[in-house]
Amino acid sequence: MLAVTLTDNSRLGGLLAEQGQVILAIDGLQPDIGHEVLWVLRDCLSGEVLLAKSLLSGRRQDLAELIGQVRDGLGVPITGVISDGQHPIRKAVAQTLPGVPHQLCQFHYLREAARPAYEADRHAKKELKKRARGVRPIERSLEGRTDAEAEAARGYCDAVRSALTDDGRPPLEASGLKLHERLSAVVASLDRVAEKRGCRPSCNG
């Protein structure tokens, strides 16, 4: 499908001519360490892939050749570049597109800006996990039971397990805060059940 897209020059040329410019995104995808890197150059405005090529390395000169190939075949100017800011990419862009603004991609920018908060949140989640251990022994004690109380207890165990294994989507979604919210909801539910039965959890230690 990618090969067909890249060889459909008439469709792509007409699309780019209509928008009059290209915002070029550059990124390398490496399935495993030591394997070739698939470099993808894409237009951010249309979402179209302009060039995709595997390289054994990500040297400045190799990347400059890829960028130059795209630049020379577009027919419209490249007015901006977005990448993850790797030094070879920066140098290749400066060499082939002098004067064109080069911006760090929003995801990488946000990730770096949020790193201190992310580290604090990760530590908090680690501490919360320590305090939520002991689900498995409870599940073992319920084996063979099919009464309503046992089923309810299994439901709470499943809720805790789900909360512990959900990593969220940092940096946009803090997994430590999310874990705290979900465990707090479980505790609140247990408190309500205990109150209805006339005994809070602390009564049983």
Q: What is the pLDDT of residue 200?
A: 53
User: What CA–CA distance (Å, rounded) separates 174 from 119?
Assistant: 10
Residue 4 has a pLDDT of 45
Task: List pLDDT tens digits, range 109-147.
Answer: 677 777 788 788 888 888 888 888 788 888 889 898 888
Whole-angstrom Cα distance, residue 103 to residue 81? 6
pLDDT of residue 1: 43
Distance CA 31, CA 25 (A): 19
The DSSP secondary structure of 172-191, one letter per residue, reads TB-HHHHHHHHHHHHHHHHH
**In the chain, which stretches have pLDDT less than 70?**
1-9, 31-34, 108-109, 168-172, 198-205
pLDDT for position 171? 63
pLDDT at 164: 84
In terms of pTM, does the model score above 0.95?
A: no
| pLDDT of the residue at 88 | 92
